[in-house]
């Protein structure tokens, strides 16, 4: 364990860089403990506090710019992959859209402090074509605040950090095992939360080819779009009506939809595992609709198969 303490003292800045880079790329590895520890060690004079913060900001910008460029190139498709990689709940895409639509690039200043938002906010910024200069400005400010708080806490409570390192050094291999178990427990809890969330969404899906066939045959299923207004501006399935999944009852009432127990209802979104679509489908069933299914693959699968979309005149 003394080796670990020595490595922290000698390679603290590299540890910070790699740890923050991995976190911002979406891996489920906490970076605040390392920032606090290295911030505390900076009080010994091996490196300065501004160096610690600067390295963390640099690592954040490298990863965030990569996601930003991926978002500009691949659009919202990249957001689904980010959610899967980070083990965040699948609703993170919808939550991020809602926050980013309201506040725009300035929301990046607090993005890293909001669980589930930081993981996809950078990709979202690219997907909605945020100007690169504005992205870098607000993202850098956010990274500076986020890393500065952690490193400063370590420096302020440097005596406590030194005491913890001393205890770990005395614990030897047992201390190293405890740290490894703590990291595994953190990842395990996140994975369990994701698994339990996905289980709640289990229900029959309808494929895009089946839906297209229903439309061609004139069966006229009720198609419900639960994406954000900004997403719908990129096009929606012809004839779809909008329901706001975060204001379900009011939105359902405003839509004027009449309950038809025999009619087919297809709900779609643009999120991992059709999370928002499945949640709204369950709400529609509780409201009295009987035949409700989410669209497998959502709007992306519909477009990938070459089916037409229409541009809404106005999204409320």
Domain spans in the chain, listed from the N-terminal domain onward? 2-199, 208-304
Is residue 108 a contact partner of residue 128, using CB atoms and an 8 Å limit? no
| pLDDT tens-place string over residues 233-280 | 778 899 898 888 777 777 777 777 777 666 889 999 887 778 788 888
Matching residue, tokens 């005395």: 170
Cα–Cα distance, 208 to 69 (Å, whole number): 29
**End-to-end distance of the chain based on CA atoms, in angstroms?**
59
- Would you tell me how many other CB atoms lie within 10 Å of the CB of residue 121? 30
**Per-residue tens of pLDDT for the chain, all 316 residues:** 445 556 666 777 888 899 899 888 877 777 888 888 888 888 877 778 999 999 999 999 999 999 999 988 887 777 766 666 554 555 566 667 777 777 889 999 988 887 667 767 888 889 888 999 999 999 999 999 999 999 998 888 888 876 666 665 665 556 556 766 776 776 777 677 666 766 666 778 999 999 999 999 988 889 999 887 777 877 889 989 888 877 777 777 777 777 766 688 999 988 777 878 888 888 888 888 888 999 998 888 899 899 989 887 654 4
Tokens 């200069």 -> residue: 133
Cα–Cα distances (Å) from 90 to 39, 64, 126, 215, 311, in that order, read 34, 20, 19, 29, 26
CA dist 57 and 46 (Å) reads: 19
Q: What six digits make up the tokens of 163?
A: 């005491």
- Compute the distance between CA of residue 153 and CA of residue 244 in angstroms, rounded to an integer: 41
| DSSP state for residue 75 in the 8-state scheme | T
* Inter-CA distances, 306 with 191, 212, 229, 300, Å: 34, 11, 22, 10
**Which residue, 316, 179, 160, 155, is CA-closest to 242?**
316
3 state DSSP class of 227? coil
Q: How would you classify the pairing of strands 222-225 and 241-242? A: parallel
Tokens read off for 117? 């938002």
Angle between helices 32-41 and 132-156 (to 10 degrees): 60
Phi-psi region of 202 (alpha: psi -120 to 50; beta: other; left: phi over 0): beta
Check if the beta carbon of residue 150 is closer than 8 Å to that of residue 49.
no
Sheet harboring 241-242: ordered strands across? 241-242, 222-225, 264-268, 291-294
**Residue whose structure tokens are 């809890």:** 189
Q: Which two tokens stand for residue 223?
A: 């198609």
Supply the CATH classification number for the domain 208-304: 3.40.250.10
Q: Tell me which residue has tokens 């706001």.
A: 244
Over the stretch 129-157, which tens digit does the pLDDT of each residue have?
899 999 999 999 999 999 999 999 888 88
């Amino acid at each position: 364990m003394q080796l670990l303490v020595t490595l922290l003292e000698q390679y603290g800045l590299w540890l910070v860089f790699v740890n923050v880079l991995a976190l911002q790329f979406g891996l489920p590895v906490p970076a605040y403990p390392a920032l606090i520890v290295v911030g505390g060690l900076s009080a010994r004079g091996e490196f300065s506090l501004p160096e610690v913060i600067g390295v963390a900001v640099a690592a954040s910008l490298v990863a965030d710019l990569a996601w930003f460029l991926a978002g500009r190139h691949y659009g919202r498709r990249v957001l689904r992959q980010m959610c899967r990689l980070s083990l965040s709940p699948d609703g993170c895409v919808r939550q991020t859209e809602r926050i980013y639509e309201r506040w725009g690039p300035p929301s990046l200043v607090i993005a890293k402090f909001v669980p589930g938002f930081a993981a996809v906010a950078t990709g979202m910024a690219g997907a909605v074509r945020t100007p690169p200069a504005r992205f870098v400005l607000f993202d850098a400010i956010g990274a500076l605040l986020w890393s500065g708080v952690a490193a400063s806490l370590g420096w302020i409570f440097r005596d406590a950090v030194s005491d913890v390192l001393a205890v770990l050094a005395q614990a030897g291999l047992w201390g190293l095992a405890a740290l490894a178990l703590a990291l595994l427990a953190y990842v395990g809890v996140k994975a369990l939360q994701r698994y339990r969330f996905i289980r709640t969404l289990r229900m029959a899906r309808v494929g895009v080819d089946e839906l297209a066939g229903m439309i061609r045959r004139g069966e006229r299923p009720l198609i419900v779009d639960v994406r954000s207004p900004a997403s719908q501006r990129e096009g929606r399935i012809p004839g779809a009506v909008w329901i706001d999944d975060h204001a379900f009852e009011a939105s359902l009432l405003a839509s004027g939809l009449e309950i038809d127990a025999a009619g087919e209802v297809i709900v779609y979104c643009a999120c991992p595992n059709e999370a928002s679509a499945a949640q709204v489908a369950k709400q529609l069933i509780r409201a009295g609709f009987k035949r409700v299914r989410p669209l497998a693959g959502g709007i992306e699968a519909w477009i990938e198969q070459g089916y037409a979309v229409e541009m809404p005149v106005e999204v409320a």
